[in-house]
Amino acid sequence: MPLSHRVPELSALELLLAVVRLGSLGRAAEELGITQPAASGRIKSMEQQLGVALLERSPRGSRPTEAGSLVAEWAQQVIDAAHALDAGIEALRAGRDGRLRIAASMTIAEYLVPGWLLALRQTHPDTAVTLSAANSTTVAEQVLAGEADLGFVEGRTSPAGLGGTVISEDRLVVVVAPGHPWARRSEVTAAELAATPLVLREEGSGTREVIDRSLLKYDGPARPLLQLSSTTAIKAAAVSGAGPAAVSELAVAEELADGRLVSVPVPELDLSRPLRAVWPQGQRPAGPARDLLSLTRRRRQGSLQGAAQGSAQGSV
């Protein structure tokens, strides 16, 4: 069945995601190499096409409406699929022999994998890579089914049936919009967090697993205020003032730096989590998968050495 006339063009979806991520139509236009009037016209045309308002504009910038957050969540999946198609076509045109299929959790796919692939391309330019972004449960299923050569997930242990190794670390932070009452607090208690409806990832994601486990003894978490399947949508909801959100520290560094979000400490909770590479148990990654795994290990060792040197200098 042909696509409905309501499905926007990829360029329009890419622009919407850039505005949601950057909080500014002008900055999004600059990043995509188009004029601000052209960007404004493209968003307006898409709103007319869909029949809903996607952005709220103010002198401080642009933020998504509730409908805009949902469209951005769906758009991210479309853009990810388009990138995978583009990579596959490029590989066919170039006649490459190397192929690497990666499945990664949303946070890892968005904030770590791009840097790894850039480094891999510098040393192995003939490797054609496709990336599938999903929650940690789905990533594990794809690796077990042979649909991915290497998976990247969040969790303290490898999923059943998979071997793996820790390749990095991350932690969750609780964030709110500057106008939220918690933004003026030095901390909140674990019990308060457990009793408060939060903006959360769906069940099956590594982020949700950490929150559910951490708040279990406090009879939480409460029923989610919003349950979204992408980090981008969660950030947009938090920035818009929907409510507190629990999200990867990697994902909100920019929003915390420019004041669009405020981090609220919860001293009673350990919200850290290891990030793992996984593969079928009893097998070892080979070929391009082995090359990428070696690269992530080298990068982790470099990060740990840098942190140790910084600690030593600080104690002199």
Which CATH number goes with the domain that contains 126?
A: 3.40.190.10
Establish if 61 belongs to a structural domain.
yes
Same domain, 131 and 99: yes
Same domain, 114 and 246: no
pLDDT values of the chain reduced to their tens digit, one per residue, 316 residues = 566 677 889 999 999 999 999 999 998 998 888 999 999 999 999 999 999 999 998 888 899 999 999 999 999 989 888 878 877 776 665 554 478 999 999 889 988 999 999 999 998 888 889 999 998 999 999 999 999 999 999 888 888 899 999 998 899 999 999 999 999 999 999 999 999 999 999 888 888 989 999 999 998 899 999 999 888 899 999 999 999 999 999 999 999 999 999 999 999 999 998 999 999 988 888 888 988 998 887 766 545 344 334 433 443 3
Q: Give pTM, 2 decimals.
A: 0.60
Establish if 308 belongs to a structural domain.
no
Question: What is the domain count for the chain?
Answer: 3
Whether residue 59 is preceded by a cis peptide bond, meaning omega within 30 degrees of 0, is no
Q: Which of 41, 56, 74 is the last residue of a domain?
A: 74
For strands 98-105 and 150-154, give the pairing: parallel
Same domain, 162 and 183: no
Whole-number Cα distances in Å, 307 to 115, 253, 302, 311: 19, 18, 9, 6
Q: Which tokens sit at 39?
A: 């960007």
Establish if 260 belongs to a structural domain.
yes
Same domain, 178 and 188: yes
Q: Which tokens sit at 304?
A: 């740990």
Same domain, 278 and 154: yes
Torsion of CA 202, 248, 73, 140, to 10 degrees: -50
Q: Looking at residue 234, what is its pLDDT?
A: 93
To 5 degrees, how large is the angle CA 9–CA 28–CA 207?
85
Q: Find all residues with CB under 8 Å of 73, minimum gap 6, and list them.
A: 228, 229, 230, 232, 233
Establish if 294 belongs to a structural domain.
no
HSE toward the beta carbon, residue 245, CA cutoff 13 A = 31
Within its chain, how far is the Cα of 23 from the centroid?
17
Q: Find all residues with CB under 8 Å of 79, minimum gap 6, and list them.
A: 10, 13, 14, 17
Establish if 299 belongs to a structural domain.
no
Same domain, 278 and 157: yes
Same domain, 85 and 234: no
Same domain, 178 and 259: yes
Q: Looking at residue 150, what is its pLDDT?
A: 95
Residue 286: burial class (beta carbons within 10 Å; 0-12, 13-18, 19+):
exposed
CATH number at residue 210: 3.40.190.290
Q: Which of 74, 104, 123 is the last residue of a domain?
A: 74
Same domain, 144 and 85: yes
Establish if 5 belongs to a structural domain.
no
**How far is Cα 68 from Cα 58, in angstroms, rounded to an integer?**
15
Collapse the DSSP code of 84 into the 3-class scheme (helix H, G, I; strand E, B; otherwise coil) and give the result. Answer: helix
Same domain, 140 and 18: no
* Domain residue limits at 247: 170-272
Same domain, 90 and 216: no
Establish if 252 belongs to a structural domain.
yes
CATH number at residue 44: 1.10.10.10
Same domain, 70 and 96: no
